[in-house]
Structure 1
C-alpha cells in the first residue's frame, strides 16, 4: 500500500477553482506560525469546549435518530440507514454554532474573532472538505458511533493536504491521514458522549421495554432494569414513541416501580427531588429521572411513599 507523504510547510499549495473565485497559489506555513489558526484555537480552548461540543454532538445524533417517533436510540442500529447516519455531520454544524454562541456566517459556516471557519462532522474515518473550505480553517469533529465517543481537531485544510485528483462527485476531498497527524491541532481528545441508558439493556430486556405490554408496564420495567442510572427525558420519550404523553405514563409507573423493584423514582424537574438525587450522587439536570433504592431514601430520613406523586413533570 502506497504511503502518501504530506506536503511540508514551505512547499507550494495550489487550490482547486471554486465558485467564489480562484484562490491564489501560496506557500504553506506551519500551524505554529499561522496566526489566525492559533487565535481560533486559543479562543476555542478558552470556552467550556468539551461540554459544548459534547452537547452539540449528542443533540445532533438524537435529532437524526428522532427516538420520540421512531424508537431508535443507537446510531449503529440497522434501523438507521447510511444516508441518515451521514446527515449527523450536516446537522452537527448548526448545533456547534448554537452551543458556542456563534452565528451562521458566510463565506464558510461561521466566524471566530473575525476569521472564517468551516465546521465539518463525520461518522466515518475522515472528513469531506468542499472546495470553498480548501486552505481555510476547519473545525473537524469525528464521531465514533460504535464506541459512543467523539474528538475534535482544528486544521487549515490546505489543498496540498487533501487527497484525490478529482474529488468525489460533489468536488469534496478528504484530509490526508499523515497531514492530520502532523498539522491538525487538538481541540478535544476522544471524549465519551452522554450515556444513552437504553444501550445498557440486554436483548431480552429490550424485548420487554419495547414489547407489546402497556406503556406504564414497559416504563416500570425500564426503571427496574436500570437502578441508579440517570435516564434522560429523551430516553423515556423513545420508549413511549408514537404514544401520547409518555411522561404521564412514567409518573404513573412510580407506585409499580416501588412495589415491584423497591425503587423510588426521582424526577429532575422538581427541585426538591433534584436535590435529594444530588445527595445520592446523581445529576438530574435537564429534567432527567433516576430510580434509587428505597433503603437509601430511608437512610436519608425520607419516606419512600412520599414520592409517589403523579403531578405533571
Structure 2
C-alpha cells in the first residue's frame, strides 16, 4: 500500500460523510465493535493469503510466488469472507448495506481497481501489505473525480492521489499477522528446509526459532507429511521432542504444556501453537522436570 496516504477529509460537512459514517456504523455493529473488527479483519486476511499460498502442499512460502490467477482469487476470497464475517447479503454489486449497493475491492498492491459498474456507489476498500504486515479497511464513494483519468483494458480505474483523501478509514496502517517466513532470517529458512526428512526439518525449525509461538500451519508446512503432528510428540525416543530434549531444547505445546510455558516466562501460546527454548539454568531444567519433561543441559 502507498506509504504517504493523506489524512481523511471525510468529516461532518463532507458530501460523503453522512452515507459513509452510516455504513461504517453498520459494519462496526455487525463486527461487534471497533476492537472486534480490528482483531477479526487482520486474521481473516492472513488466512485468505495463506490458504492460497498453500505452503504444506506447494512448498511456496510467499505471495510473490503465486500465479496471476491465484492472486486474483485472493480478492474473491476476501469478498466472500468479509460478507460472511459481517453477515452481509449479496446485492447487485457485491453487497447491500443500509439500502446502498456496495462494491468490495481488495488489493495486495498500492491501489484498488474500481469497475465501471461501481462508479458512483460506496465501496469497501480492503488492503494487505505483506512486506510491512499492515492492513487497511476503508470506505469511499467511487465518484469520477476521486478516480484516475487512465484505465486498464477492462475499463477499471484506480483511486487518484487526491481521491485517497476522500477515504473514510476504519483500519489504517493496522498490524496484521505477518507471513511467518518473512519474520526469520533467510539463512534460517534455508537451514530448515535443507533437512531431508520431516524430523530433520522439524528439529531445525525449533532450533532456529526459539521463544516464539509457532502455529500448527507452519509445523505442517515444514514436516510435509500426512501425520505431521507425530513429529511433535514424544515417539519412543525417536520424535522431534525427544531429539531436541537430548540437545538441551524444550519443545512445548500450548495445549498440553501451558503451565510450564507460563512458569518459564515464555510467550503465551494458543492450544494449536508450539514454542521451544533452551533452558538458561539448572533451575529452569528442574522446573521442566517437575512438569514431567526431562531435558539434558550437558550440550551447554
Report the counterpart of residue 49 of structure 2 in structure 1: 61
* 1:109-148 → structure 2 map (5 Å cutoff): 109-148=94-133
User: Which contiguous aligned blocks of 4+ residues in structure 1 show a shift greater than 6 angstroms?
Assistant: none
Report the counterpart of residue 279 of structure 2 in structure 1: 294
CA distance in structure 2 between the aligned counterparts of 1:286 and 1:112, rounded to whole angstroms = 37
Report the counterpart of residue 267 of structure 1 in structure 2: 253
> Residue by residue, what CA displacement relative to the aligned partner does 1:132-165 show, whole Å, maximum 9, x if unpaired?
3222221111222222222222111113322236
1:40 to 10, 18, 23: 23
Give the 3-state SS of the residue equivalent to 1:96 in structure 2. helix
CA distance in structure 2 between the aligned counterparts of 1:227 and 1:88, rounded to whole angstroms = 31
Residues 40 and 89 (structure 1 numbering): CA distance in 2 closer, same or farther, change over 3 Å?
same
Report the counterpart of residue 245 of structure 1 in structure 2: 227
* 1:161-310 → structure 2 map (5 Å cutoff): 161-164=146-149, 167-181=151-165, 183-241=166-224, 243-251=225-233, 252-260=239-247, 262-270=248-256, 273-278=257-262, 280-285=265-270, 287-295=272-280, 298-299=283-284, 301-303=287-289, 306-307=292-293
TM-score w.r.t. length of structure 2: 0.80
* 1:144-155 → structure 2 map (5 Å cutoff): 144-155=129-140
User: Post-superposition shift, 1:307?
Assistant: 4.2
Structure 1: state its 5+ residue gaps.
Answer: 1-7, 10-28, 309-313
Report the counterpart of residue 49 of structure 1 in structure 2: 37
Residues 62 and 199 (structure 1 numbering): CA distance in 2 closer, same or farther, change over 3 Å?
same
Give the 3-state SS of the residue equivalent to 1:120 in structure 2. strand
- After the TM superposition, which of the residue ranges 167-176 and 132-141 deviates more from structure 2? 167-176
Report the counterpart of residue 4 of structure 1 in structure 2: none
1:87 to 73, 76, 81: 73
User: Post-superposition shift, 1:278?
Assistant: 4.6
User: Post-superposition shift, 1:111?
Assistant: 3.3
User: Post-superposition shift, 1:216?
Assistant: 0.7
CA distance in structure 1 between the aligned counterparts of 2:169 and 2:77, rounded to whole angstroms = 22
Aligned CA RMSD, in angstroms, stands at: 2.8
